[in-house]
Amino acid sequence: MVEITIRKRPRTEAVITQRKFFKKTARGKVIKESNLFSPPIILLQTVIEEVRHRSLPLYNRLNALIKMDEKRIWVFYNEYRSETAIIREEGETPNDRNDRGIRKAAAWYNDHIRVTRPPIRGQAPPKLPTVVLMTEDVANRQKAEKAGISCISVRKYVEGMKEPTQLLDLLAAEGSNEIEPTKAAAGRQAFYPDYIPTSTLLAGVKTGELHQGHFNANQYNYLEGSVSVPALSKPILLIGRENMNRAVHGDVVVVEVFDEKEWKAPADEVVDQDSTLKNDDVEDSGDEGDDEEDQVTRREKQVLLSEEVKRTSEKQPTGRIVGVIKRNWRAYVCHIDSTSLTSSNATSLSQQTVFATPVSRLLPRIRLRTRQAPTLIGQKILVTIDRWDVTSRYPEGHFVRALGKVESKEAEQESLLLEFEVPYRPFGKAILDCLPPQGDTWVVPPKSDTSPEWRDRVDLRDLIICSIDPPNCQDIDDALHARPLPNGNIEAGVHIADVSHFVLPDNPMDSEAASRGTTVYLVDKRIDMLPSLLGTNLCSLRPYVERLAFSTIWEMTPEAEIVNVRFTKSVIASKAAFTYEEAQIRKDDPNLQDELTAGIRLLNTLAQKLKAGRMAAGALNLASPEVKIHLDSAESSDPIDVEQKEMRETNSLVEEFMLLANISVARKIQETFPQTAVLRYFSFTHFQGYRIDDFGSRRHLPPPRTNFEKLQDVLMKRKGLALDVSSSGALAASLDKCIDPNEPAFNTLVRIMGTRCMLSAEYFCSGSVGRDTFGHYGLASPIYTHFTSPIRRYADVLAHRQLAAAIGYTPLHATLHSKSHVERVLDVVNRRHRMAQMAGRASVEFYVGLALKGRNEREKGCVREEAFVIRTFRNGLGVFVSKLGIEGLVMFKREIRFDADNYTIAIPSSTAPDAQDLTISVFDKVMVNIEVEKDKNTQRGRVKMTLVHPVDSSLM
């Protein structure tokens, strides 16, 4: 790669940029728009619990609203007060019981106000406020009115306010029984079958006649989806709108599997909804009662019929969705489709029904009614789905708020955080009050027997300890040391920031950390799990500063065999903070013979032997595409170039000792707390087009062979290479043999494709699964946890608390004795971890796109790069550009011959009659032009790739 001059942004400027970002988003638009509605509100415990049961994302949004300082919202725990608590009557449904409880609480509150404000003799009677029950439930309102309780619908209340236009847009779409039917709904036939009653669904799942799982949309074909279920080795394929039956990506659904003779193979053609649904009339998106089908329905049926003839892959279980157990609906980042507007007059306040197109291609279009449509063109907006009727091709939702101009960095970054549900609100006062009152002047006090900080701590300040991290790392949570012992053995230690000393169980800061789950790393900013005073200061193991630590210290033989291990709270003083590059240079410099350099070399020697031992035990050496993006400055944050990350020996050094510490701690806490230890293991998903199934996560044993069938088949047919997946060791050995002498990058490509058969490892509670499932398949370790990064991972904080109790330093908090509590916390942490990873990848993709766009402009043309073919379609190719770490589609407009069995396409020659067709196969190296183009309807910048060698696809 050519040499690049990089202007690195100072850390101080990055902090300023982050503060500006928060000011523009969390403290600006959100609060400004939400303050349109400001009357005092009493939320009943019954309502909050029902929201939690129906939708966890909505429950989290409601909690965030309650905590806002600017709001006047009070929670009334009506279920715990004798005057308002009720018992469910015989034959009463849970919903009716809750409605009765809400009416009783409303009636009691009015009586309560009258009793607490009695008239005073000689004075005018006090003006008493009226508690009004606001509900959209018509039946509940009718019963309340009969009981003499003041009540009104939210919509009617808002309509009575001054200037209600903006607020009316923020309301959920009205129910079909309370709204005048639109042209699209009047007399319309059903697009979808009704769902089976919930009781029937649950009974069917229990007997095994029906199956429950997460719905996964197909990013290449919007008319196909799948559901992975434990009972079947392959996902259940869902073909067509009717069979997907109004499911949205991530919904928990119930599926009926068809008879085996009706099973089909997945389509091998890219079907893009932008082109298939082009010019669909938002008001006429359904059948109006006549027999003639609308254009979109006809086009979709033609696509499915065409695919039916062409399906050549191996068949898999096929079925249809018969019910939804839990919706994954939340606020989605969208753009208004400009072609769906009936009026573009910016001054018009008439309500229009328009299409909102989500940024994610896994989601359907959303119909919404708004009075602000003309002013929202060219902006990113937030839209929430409210309902999806059987008579509507699309779900219906409502406008929440505008995020900003399309392609502006602030709007793009905020939309990314919202899309992946990353909590980015500033830390509130209650959380900040949990920090040490001394603030950044806090220091480790002088050593004394009476100091609580020094209680039962070992003084390790004289040890030659250093940290090795990526460049510009501020949250340093691990440091290492190694030194020879008089008996010929070696002492090696991993020292981790003692975060649990500052983050105490069950206080506001602990609750917030548990809710956030993890720090989220984006290209140009970091969304912290803990306040920066801890993460980048008091807990960060900075050099030349005394810090509290939790140390794991081993005695090892020169061959890296462990003689013993001890765990202790400690006080350390790191002697240096290196980057990976700086530590590598120091290790390799023969002129340096000081203690610090000798310690790094000793650590490296042990790390090499530890890794060799892991590999011999069957650990997998997998790969993932990682790139480094160089930014211009803090003010612009403009990317100036992209390159692959370089991995050095020192990267492996740190990795091996972190793995060893995590394994050692896992053994200790599991021995002491066999029912509630926080552990971690690797799980897998089916190999579907080399993509990760982000929502199909399940706990299970190492993968059945079917998970790797596609990769095994393509390797055998294209390269004559066998992939043995009978064990982790066999898989590791066969991956080592996947070599192409003519292409050094081939082995890395295969490892990347192998990695994508797998999901991220998951946290679990040791008492929740069988002991034989504890093993971490990827690491070939019988037990594993996370202990080494408590500044940025909440699971590590829990492991610290358990280890502290295991060594007798402090009693274990009551919540960590409860298996159900640990399970609930880890469910949140697992989800947050997955979403953080996806947010990080999306941030990289966004900045790679900006860098490519900049290169396009500077070089007055397309960026040209080498790529590998990783998938073949009937009408295109999937390619992977390793240098940039991105994937893309190359589409062909002309007819090509497709051989699904052999993963090849043949392009007919247009020259001499006797000329041979040009064949392109999976694993072939090609040359592509890359450019970033703007979609006219969605205003979304997207990477477009065209083949330039061995054939120019733009001519096809």
Q: Which CATH class is domain 35-120+127-171?
A: alpha beta
Residue 190 pLDDT: 83
Start-end ranges of CATH 2.40.50.700 in the chain? 329-419
Q: Which CATH class is domain 862-955?
A: mainly beta
CA dihedral 496, 502, 505, 506 (to 10 degrees): -140
The CATH architecture of the domain made up of 190-285+297-327 is Beta Barrel (2.40)
What is the CA angle 75-76-82, rounded to 5?
A: 160
Structure tokens at 934: 């703007």
Give the H or E element holding residue 576: strand 576-579
* Overall pTM > 0.75: yes
Pairing of strands 73-76, 211-217: unpaired
Residue 744 pLDDT: 83
pLDDT profile of the chain (956 residues), mean per 10: 38 47 40 58 88 75 75 85 88 88 90 83 81 88 90 85 74 51 52 91 92 91 91 90 93 94 85 70 55 65 67 82 91 86 66 87 90 87 91 91 84 87 91 94 93 94 95 91 96 97 95 95 89 94 96 96 96 96 94 94 96 85 64 56 74 94 96 94 44 30 61 88 82 85 85 74 87 75 92 96 96 94 94 90 81 73 85 88 84 83 82 68 90 62 82 75
Q: Is residue 621 a contact partner of residue 732, using CB atoms and an 8 Å limit?
A: yes
Q: What's the sign of the alpha-carbon dihedral 89, 92, 93, 98? A: negative
Looking at this protein, which amino acid is placed at residue 649? E
Q: Which CATH class is domain 329-419?
A: mainly beta
Residue 700 pLDDT: 32
Start-end ranges of CATH 2.40.50.140 in the chain? 862-955
Q: Residue 132 in 3-state DSSP? A: coil
In sequence order, the 6+-apart residues with CB closer than 8 A to the CB of 459 are: 447, 570, 571
- Residue 21's alpha-carbon distances to 33, 407, 417, 530, 929, in angstroms, are 17, 15, 12, 18, 34
Buried b (16+ CB within 10 A) or exposed e, 826-861: bebbbebbbbbbbbbebbbbbbbbbbbbbbbeeeee
Burial class (CB in 10 A: 0-12, 13-18, 19+), 722: exposed
Residue 311 pLDDT: 61
Residue 632 pLDDT: 58
Pairing of strands 366-370, 396-405: parallel
Residue 562 pLDDT: 96
Q: Is residue 796 a contact partner of residue 704, using CB atoms and an 8 Å limit?
A: no
Looking at this protein, which amino acid is placed at residue 463? L
Pairing of strands 562-573, 458-459: parallel
What is the separation, in whole angstroms, between the first and last Cα of the chain? 32
Burial class (CB in 10 A: 0-12, 13-18, 19+), 8: exposed
Enter the DSSP assignment of 312.
Answer: -
Residue 640 pLDDT: 53
Q: What is the rounded distance in angstroms from the CA atom of residue 669 to the CA atom of residue 809?
A: 13
Start-end ranges of CATH 2.40.50.690 in the chain? 190-285+297-327
